[in-house]
Structure 1
């Protein structure tokens, strides 16, 4: 169906009413082009897939906030993808990259003065409490990934969930843990 004949506004209304097929129609209509938008911004296929997944979750959850008077449904959908992608890029710019050479140049005396977080039982207790506060899906995803060393695909198989959902659970679970441990 051509984009100029597709009724985005009515489809968004259907999403707001809980029509899952409407969300699927949106994805089938523009998923490839939206992936292209995300990919051009984040320049990484896996990140672009995550952006697209998160954007469609957001579209589903926020469809009721779409207002025809504020603009077109298509523009609203594309802006969600664009802003999600830009937020990912901004977040990556804020990450501190560890320089391997710098770590190697640190002598043993410097490393001895670094706190051992694992040995600090207070932090372990806090980590346990923060993990306990997560919903089961996020907690299990994190534990499978960081304790068992499972790949996203392996976790998806264990939890019988889509890989994009598992990635989102891990990412959001880590964000929640960072806030909790902060």
Structure 2
């Protein structure tokens, strides 16, 4: 990772450029994060070829979903790690010999994998605080609203796909997601101000 890509702001700028279809920015984003994200996928899947496939699927989703990235909800690496996590878990579910995951251990592994070894303690603490704040605010949402947002942003589904899976009209899903994101923004702003 080059020196100018070591910080969250640089990654945010790259994701914003990717949202505009900038292929060079996408390449730089890939170069800056692929090794870390591959390592994370490998921790889940335990096989190089599966981790590579999950990473490839994740970067396709990142390319297509960059316009929907909301920097006030998560740091770019957190957002990308969530996409990789979901792709890897989807692969595990599809395997006949899928193993049961220890959720608590998995979350600890996820946080560990997301931490940049070059980041100092204040950077690591901020990432952990951001993750806790997001979890707190997500828990405050109504169940169906939280489910719709989770499916859209953490499972990388389109609003139409969420509507089909929840057997609801797309307008309802869009409203729930929009209102839920507004609540998350308000909640996160209040926690930040405190």
Give me the TM-score of the superposition, normalised by structure 2. Answer: 0.46
Over alpha carbons, which structure has the higher Rg? 1
TM-score (structure 1 length as normaliser): 0.49
